[in-house]
Amino acid sequence: MRRFVLRRLAQAAVVLLGVSLIVFALVQLVPGDPVRVSLGTRFDPETYAALRERAGFDRPLPVQYLTYVGGALTGDLGVSFRSGQPVTTTLLDRLPATLSLALCGLLVALCIAVPLGVVSAMRSGSLADHAATVTSQIGVSIPDFWMAILLILLFSGVLGVLPPSGYVPLGEDPVEWAKHMVMPAVTIGVVSGAILTRFIRAAVLESLGQDHVRTARSKGLPDGLILRRHVLRNALIPIITITGVQLATLLGGVIVVEVIFSWPGLGRLTLDAVLARDYPVLQGAVLLVAALFLLVNLVVDVLYAAVDPRIRYGS
């Protein structure tokens, strides 16, 4: 297992290097001068030249890229053009909001998807199966911005029980954190839950058709016992896979939801960086999201061996 993890970490380093190169190249193709944009109406030739020199834009592109990679290896992702703050500090400040939203949204999704998917598979062809299928189709079809607006109108405008936007850190006030978390988490959880429902139903149906499950039923074992001992354990591999994909997607930042709810996460930070031509923040955010994707994939691979003893990662 240790050799497998080390090998995956080495592969992740290569992937991140490739991501940094692609992002750096694409950023150079974006029209407009980021230093000129950051100065706005305060443009001054001397300040402009000093900022370009500090950002390294006066150097050849290969030198700029190598300097950026060298800094990234030490945790230095540059300085934001807009705020003047270190990019690493800015990303770490935004990361807790994204992590909390992604995890809570995934929890909502699992609370929706697991019961619906299991019941739908166990009662295949029944009214409950058709109802679960229609519910998941509706969930996939609902735009997240429309869901967010409806929730705000209902719980903030009509009922007045939840704040319409904003974010409060968990350590500062857990109650207010929970109040601000409900609507964004439900918004992304409904869509993710609808996607997960379909995969869970398919995984459980496939497991139900295996020989050992039919043997257990022929012995007269209760459905609940068969489900716990024989069906769910064998269906965990595809379920873990799609759950990891959904978590990685949420960690990448749900930009529309974060903008609507004024959520200070990585998605909103990336959008602001694009609009402001804040290249250091944009590059750093993309690198961080790529690293989170790779980390989630590694955790999923390790979980495979934990839930299925037949899987062993050797040399």
pLDDT at 315 over 60: no
Q: Is the pLDDT of residue 314 over 60?
A: no
Asked if residue 146 is part of any domain, the answer here is yes
81 contacts 276 by C-beta, under 8 angstroms: yes
pLDDT band at 103 (very low <50, low <70, confident <90, very high): very high
Percent of the chain with pLDDT over 70: 92
Instruction: Say if 100 falls within a structural domain.
Output: yes
Distance CA 253, CA 256 (A): 9
Task: Find out whether 188 and 105 touch, Cβ atoms under 8 Å.
Answer: yes
Q: Report if residue 238 sits inside a domain.
A: yes
For the chain, what is the mean pLDDT? 83
Which residue range forms the structural domain that includes residue 199?
95-262
Domain count, the chain: 1
Per-residue model confidence as pLDDT tens digits over 261-271: 988 988 888 88
> pTM (2 decimals)?
0.84
pLDDT of 313 reads 62
Q: What was the pLDDT predicted at 309? A: 63
- pLDDT tens-digit profile of 211-236? 777 787 777 777 777 777 777 777 78
Q: Give the C-alpha separation, 84 to 35, whole Å.
A: 12
The residue written with tokens 């903030």 in the block is 156
Q: DSSP H helical segments within 252-278, as ranges?
A: 255-260, 266-275
177 falls in which pLDDT band (50, 70, 90)? Answer: very high
pLDDT reported for residue 125: 80
Q: Is the pLDDT of residue 308 over 80?
A: no
Residue 253 lies inside a defined structural domain of this protein: yes
Q: Dump pLDDT digits (tens) for 178-201.
A: 999 999 999 999 988 888 998 888
- What is residue 43's predicted lDDT score, i.e. its pLDDT? 65
| Domain membership flag for residue 114 | yes
Q: What is the pLDDT of residue 233?
A: 75
Residue 3 lies in a domain: no
Q: Which of 10-14, 215-219, 280-284 has the lowest mean pLDDT?
A: 215-219
Q: Residue 123: inside a domain, yes or no?
A: yes
Would the pLDDT of 75 be above 80? yes
**pLDDT tens digits, residue range 113-167?**
988 988 888 887 888 888 888 888 888 888 888 889 999 999 998 888 999 988 9
User: Is 181 inside any structural domain?
Assistant: yes
Q: Which amino acid is at 209?
A: G
How far apart (Å, rounded) are the C-alpha atoms in residues 161 and 183? Answer: 11
- The predicted pLDDT at position 229 comes to 72
Q: What is the CATH number of the domain that holds 234?
A: 1.10.3720.10
> What is the number of other CB atoms lying within 10 angstroms of the CB of residue 11?
12
Distances (CA, A) of 198 to 201, 210, 226, 296: 5, 19, 21, 21
Distance (Å, whole) CA 104 – CA 177: 12
